[in-house]
Amino acid sequence: MDKIYLNEMEFYGYHGVLPEETKLGQRFRVNVIAETDFREAGIKDDLNLTVSYADIYMLCKEIVEGKPYKLIEAVAERIASGILETFVKIESVTVKVIKPDPPIPGHYQSVAVEITRIRS
């Protein structure tokens, strides 16, 4: 299966369990790997035979910058299900949601969740 990658998309959202997260908001980064067969699109050089990266980006943006969720697990689920519902050519999707600056004391680069969902 061929793969489409959207790496390190950055958005501002209001997800979290702590009051300051839902009030002040914070940055989120999202990575998406979408699996599909785009051989024919590559041969014919035709966007209609694959999936628009811009459309995937906009779907991610709407979810992350939209309704707040307590868990980044819920954000990842909404993105994965939205991609599979919207883009019928995509057979499976892996979504990683990264919180670079969570309000957790300590030294670390970020926290993240990653899920993979397959079209049933």
- Residue spans per domain, the chain: 2-118
Question: What pLDDT shows up at residue 105?
Answer: 87
Q: Which of 3, 61, 89, 99 is catalytic?
A: 99
Whether 51 and 36 have beta carbons less than 8 Å apart is answered as: yes
Whether 113 and 77 have beta carbons less than 8 Å apart is answered as: no
Whether 10 and 22 have beta carbons less than 8 Å apart is answered as: no
Question: What pLDDT shows up at residue 3?
Answer: 98
Tokens of 98: 């990264």
Per-residue pLDDT of the chain (120 residues; tens, 9 = 90+): 999 999 999 999 999 999 999 999 999 999 999 999 999 999 999 999 999 999 999 999 999 999 999 999 999 999 999 999 999 999 999 999 999 988 888 888 999 999 999 998
Question: What pLDDT shows up at residue 70?
Answer: 97
Residue 99 designated active-site: yes
Question: What pLDDT shows up at residue 93?
Answer: 98
- The CATH code for residues 2-118 is 3.30.1130.10
